[in-house]
């Protein structure tokens, strides 16, 4: 690809991002549903977890809330991306785009803009609620926010790419929505999002979830928003940030490769 | 070079699905600047053929050249030269008409002015409306607008006027004629024979995945040479005679210089010819 067409693809990608955002935020019901489901889970389950861990005096609700922020942005990346692409395939968006000179890369750039903006909004919303209802304290050290930044970027990129790949397996929007949500719910469960601390889960279950991004994103975010001593409630008794970066990075690469391999423009099989 | 003469060249095109041929070896040449109509019943292979020409589907075998390139391999530069009007689409429902046209114009190197295109398809009053609020006919006109925004050399129209009321249909025809007058080659598929007759320079009839006839609407299937029916009325009542030479017959009948009351000479309509070609009439 020459420099000129790469620049063209970027410019069209940003224009697509603007169009994606406009369309997303104009559908009020979708916006409310997308953002409120993780919020609802955070508020309801967070209120149930009344325990305080004796070793550290940390409330279970804080442990849960920090992990739920990760679950929230997986919803806006993996689930929303998968359903969004399936919808584009069903309503003719992709077919129309396929008949224009728009580079395929621009389509994905546009989607990434949407996912980045909606995931940031989701994270901010979840964080605000966690601070307000569960007294989570925002870190002041820049290093913590740097950790947040790379976990966010790697996690959201990998999950979005996996969402696109997963959408190619479904034949319809309804199929995609059901399938994506089942995978998402199951992974949240076995990654210890709903059961805190994660070490309360059977070790075999966590061994399985350790292959997937959910566990690492939530663990990484707990390291950002919880005090150092909370690391004892992780499976390894420490935050394992190096391993987190490795797993999330690997999923980014795998997700993008899978995307290239299985992405389909239409629902038709030939 | 040949591609300067023909916008589309198809030789021996086949498309098989699980061993069944949807397109069973067709040949087509569409000249630059002409309006070409593909007619045929549902399942005749029209949409499959058009989608192969658009680059949306792969072919099983055969030679295909569209604007000098193989649509199965052509890239963005080629796509900038064609325009596709989708048969069914409900995308971009939350954008306004003007927004979507401006956005799509950005994909092309030499787009038409979005305001001019809105005017061309008669959607001025709806330019600021969300696409989801458009009626079916308005939606189709937007699809056409999106198809021509890039100033295509070749425009694909797949059953463009299905569901139009007669007045909108006439306006649509005028738009197509205007595009053709500007030099756009147009490939049209349609169910409506009056549409083909009104618009097309040439038509091809597809049936069972093959071209069963090709020609101008006036001469299709030997229509111009087919037996004519001459009818007239005199004191004995209505007469009707079939003949290959209606002019001679009329000459004989009016040899005395008399006027023939109720004289009509009819050839088979395009519809008669079409139904015969696709085997619906024995």
Mean model confidence pLDDT for chain A: 90
Residue B195 lies in a domain: yes
From B246's Cα to the closest Cα of chain A, the distance in A is 50
Examine residue B34 and state whether it is found in any structural domain, yes or no.
yes
Can you name the residues that pair with B240 across neighbouring β-strands?
B231
Let me know whether B13 and B79 are in one domain: yes
Using CB atoms, pick whichever of A16, A26, A96 lies closest to residue B89.
Answer: A96
Least confident of A171-185, A190-204, B248-262: B248-262
CATH of the domain at B98: 3.40.50.300
Confidence of residue B200 (pLDDT cuts 50, 70, 90): very high
pLDDT: which is higher, B224 or A226: A226
Set of chain B residues whose Cβ sits within 8 Å of the Cβ of A11:
106
Nearest to A97 by CA among B70, B54, B116: B54
Residue A246 has pLDDT above 80, yes or no: yes
pLDDT tens digits for B85-117? 987 778 888 899 999 999 999 999 999 999 999
Whether B76 sits inside 8 A of A103 (CB atoms) is yes
Is A11 domain-assigned?
Answer: yes
pLDDT above 60: residue B2? no
Residue A269 lies in a domain: no
> Would you place residue B1 in the very low, low, confident or very high pLDDT band (cuts 50, 70, 90)?
very low
> Does A96 sit within 8 Å of B56, measured CB to CB?
no
- Judgement on whether residues B145 and B237 belong to the same structural domain of the protein: no
pLDDT value at position A85? 93
Please say if the pLDDT value at position B63 is more than 90. yes
| pLDDT of A252 | 94
Partner-chain residue, chosen from B55, B91, B146, that has the shortest CB–CB distance to A91: B91
**Residue B215 three-state SS:** strand
The percent of residues in chain A predicted with pLDDT above 90, rounded, is: 64
Cross-chain CB nearest to B106 (options A15, A27, A92): A15
With CA atoms as reference, the chain B residue closest to A5 would be: B76
Out of B79, B95, B99, the one facing A100 most closely (by C-beta) is B79
pLDDT > 70: percent of chain A: 97
- Chain A residues touching B107 at Cβ < 8 A: 12, 100-102
In a domain, B59, yes or no: yes
Segment B71-79 mean pLDDT: 91
Nearest CA in chain B to A18: B103
Question: What is the number of domains present in chain A?
Answer: 1
The per-residue pLDDT for range B170-180, each reduced to its tens digit, is 888 998 999 99
**For position B4, what pLDDT does the model report?**
62
> Has residue A267 been placed in a domain?
no
Q: Which residues of A touch B82 (CB under 8 A)?
A: 99
Which of B200, B218, B236 marks a domain boundary? Answer: B218
- Residue at B281 is within a domain: no
Same domain assignment for residues B260 and B183 = no
The helix or strand, by DSSP H or E, that contains position B199, with its residue range, turns out to be: helix B193-199
Rounded Cα gap, residues B265 and B274, in angstroms: 20
Q: B228 or A219: which carries more pLDDT confidence?
A: A219
Whether B208 and B68 share a structural domain: yes
Residue A10 lies in a domain: yes
Torsion from C-alpha of B228, B234, B238, B244, nearest 10 degrees: -10
Instruction: Tell me how far CA of residue B252 lies from CA of A89, B117, B227, in angstroms.
Output: 67, 56, 17
Nearest to B40 by CA among B209, B157, B154: B209
Query: Based on the domain organization, do B66 and B44 belong to the same domain?
Result: yes
Residues of B within 8 A of A19 (CB-CB) are 92, 95, 99, 103
In a domain, B274, yes or no: no
Q: Which B residues in the span 62-101 are in contact with A, Cβ-Cβ below 8 Å?
A: 76-77, 79-80, 82, 84, 86, 88-95, 99
CB atoms inside a 10 Å sphere around CB A144: 14
Q: Do B118 and B181 fall within a single domain?
A: yes
Strand ranges in chain B using DSSP code E only, listed in sequence order: 6-17, 20-31, 35-39, 61-66, 82-85, 154-158, 185-190, 202-207, 210-215, 228-234, 237-243, 261-266
What is the predicted pLDDT for the residue at B169?
Answer: 84
For the beta sheet containing B20-31, the strands, ordered from the edge strand earlier in sequence to the opposite edge, are B20-31, B6-17, B61-66
Taking residues A160-184, report their average pLDDT: 90
**Least CB-CB distance to B95: which of A15, A23, A92?**
A23
Question: How confident is the model at residue A16, as a pLDDT?
Answer: 95
Rounded to 5°, the CA angle A61-A62-A67 comes to 100
A270 contact residues in B (CB cutoff 8 A): 17, 57-58
Residues 6+ apart with CB under 8 A from A46: A61, A64, A65, A68, A130, A133, A134
Whether residues B201 and B244 share a domain: the answer is no
Residue A4 reports pLDDT greater than 60:
no
Residues B94/A27, Cβ–Cβ less than 8 Å: yes
| Chain A interface includes B56 (CB < 8 A) | yes
pLDDT at A263 over 90: no
Q: How far is CA A45 from CA A9, A48, A130, A212, in A?
A: 44, 5, 12, 23
**Does A101 contact B77 at a Cβ distance shorter than 8 Å?**
yes
Domain extent, residue A79, equals 3-262
ipTM over 0.85: yes
Q: Which residues of chain B lie closer than 8 angstroms to A95, CB-CB? A: 56, 86, 89
Over the stretch A53-67, which tens digit does the pLDDT of each residue have? 888 889 989 999 999
In a shared domain, residues B242 and B259:
yes
The number of distinct structural domains making up chain B is 2
Task: Tell if the CB–CB gap between A96 and B86 is shorter than 8 Å.
Answer: yes
Tell me if A270 is assigned to some domain. no
Please answer yes or no on whether B107 and A101 come within 8 Å at the CB atom.
yes
Q: Does A91 fall in a domain?
A: yes
State the pLDDT confidence band at B282, using cuts at 50, 70 and 90: very low
Mean pLDDT for A206-221 is 93
List of residues 6+ apart from B65 with CB closer than 8 A: B2, B3, B6, B8, B9, B10
B7 — pLDDT class (breaks 50, 70, 90): very high
Whether B254 is in a domain gets the answer yes
CB pairs under 8 A between A and B: 73
B138 part of a folded domain: yes
Residue A255 has pLDDT above 50, yes or no: yes
Q: Which of A100, A173, A267 to mutate to test the interface with B (most CBs of B within 10 A)?
A: A100
**Structural domain containing residue B11:** 2-218
Task: Please check whether residues B258 and B176 belong to one and the same domain.
Answer: no
B92 to chain A: which residues are within 8 Å by CB? 19, 23, 93
Answer yes or no: is A15 within a domain: yes
Report helix, strand or coil for B264: strand
Are residues B205 and B238 part of one domain? no
| Interval B132-165: pLDDT, tens | 999 888 888 899 999 999 999 999 998 887 777 7
Is pLDDT at A2 greater than 60 in this prediction?
no
Q: Is the pLDDT of residue A175 over 50?
A: yes
pLDDT one-digit tens code per residue, A68-107: 999 999 999 999 999 999 999 988 899 999 999 999 889 9
Residues B255 and B163 in one domain: no
Same domain, yes or no, for B257 and B125? Answer: no
pLDDT tens per residue across span A15-49 = 999 999 999 999 888 889 889 989 999 999 888 88
Q: Quote the pLDDT of residue A241.
A: 94
A91 neighbourhood in chain B, CB within 8 Å: 89-91, 93
The pLDDT of residue A1: 44
**pLDDT tens-place string over residues A116-153:** 999 999 999 999 999 999 999 999 999 999 999 999 99
């Amino acid at each position: 690809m020459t420099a000129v067409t790469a620049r063209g693809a970027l410019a069209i990608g940003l224009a697509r991002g603007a169009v994606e955002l406009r369309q997303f935020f104009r559908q009020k019901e979708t916006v409310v549903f997308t953002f409120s489901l993780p919020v609802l889970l955070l508020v309801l389950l967070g209120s149930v977890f009344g325990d305080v861990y004796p070793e550290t005096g940390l409330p279970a609700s804080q442990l849960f809330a920090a992990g739920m922020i990760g679950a929230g942005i997986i919803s806006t990346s993996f689930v929303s991306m998968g359903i969004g692409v399936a919808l584009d395939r069903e309503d003719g968006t992709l077919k129309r785009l396929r008949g224009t000179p728009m580079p395929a890369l621009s389509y994905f750039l546009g989607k990434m803009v949407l996912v980045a903006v909606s995931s940031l909004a989701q994270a901010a919303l979840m964080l605000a609620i966690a601070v307000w209802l569960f007294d989570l304290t925002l870190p002041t050290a820049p290093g913590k926010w740097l950790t947040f930044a790379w976990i966010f970027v790697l996690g959201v990129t990998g999950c979005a790419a996996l969402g696109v790949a997963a959408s190619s397996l479904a034949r319809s929007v309804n199929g995609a929505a059901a399938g994506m949500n089942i995978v998402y719910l199951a992974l949240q469960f076995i990654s210890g999002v709903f059961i805190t601390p994660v070490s309360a889960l059977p070790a075999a279950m966590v061994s399985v979830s350790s292959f997937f991004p959910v566990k690492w994103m939530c663990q990484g975010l707990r390291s950002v928003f919880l005090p150092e001593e909370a690391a004892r409630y992780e499976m390894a008794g420490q935050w394992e940030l190096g391993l987190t970066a490795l797993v999330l990075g690997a999923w980014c690469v795998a997700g993008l490769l899978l995307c290239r391999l299985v992405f389909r423009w239409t629902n038709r099989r030939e | 070079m040949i591609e300067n003469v023909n916008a589309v060249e198809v030789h021996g095109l086949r498309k098989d699905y699980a061993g069944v041929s949807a397109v069973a070896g067709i040949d087509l040449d569409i000249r630059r600047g002409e309006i070409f109509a593909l007619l045929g019943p549902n399942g005749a292979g029209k949409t499959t053929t058009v989608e192969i020409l658009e680059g949306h589907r792969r072919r099983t075998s055969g030679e295909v050249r569209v604007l000098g390139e193989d649509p199965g391999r052509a890239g963005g530069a080629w796509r900038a030269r064609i325009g596709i009007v989708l048969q069914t689409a409900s995308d971009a429902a939350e954008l306004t008409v003007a927004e979507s046209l401006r956005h799509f114009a950005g994909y092309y190197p030499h787009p038409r002015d979005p305001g001019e295109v809105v005017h061309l398809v008669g959607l001025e009053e709806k330019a600021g409306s969300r696409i989801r609020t458009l009626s079916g006919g308005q939606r189709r006109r937007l699809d056409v607008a999106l198809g021509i925004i890039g100033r295509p050399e070749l425009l694909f129209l797949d059953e463009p006027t299905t569901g139009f009321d007669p007045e909108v249909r006439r306006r649509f025809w005028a738009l197509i004629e205007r595009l053709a007058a500007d030099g756009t080659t147009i490939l049209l598929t349609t169910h409506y024979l009056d549409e083909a007759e009104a618009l097309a320079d040439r038509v091809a009839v597809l049936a069972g995945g093959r071209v069963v006839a090709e020609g101008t609407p006036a001469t299709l299937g030997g229509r111009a040479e087919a037996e004519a029916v001459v009818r007239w009325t005199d004191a004995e009542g209505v007469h009707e005679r079939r003949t290959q030479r209606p002019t001679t017959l009329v000459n004989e009948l009016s040899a005395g210089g008399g006027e023939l009351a109720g004289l009509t000479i009819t050839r088979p309509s395009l519809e008669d010819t079409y139904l015969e070609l696709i085997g619906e009439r024995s």
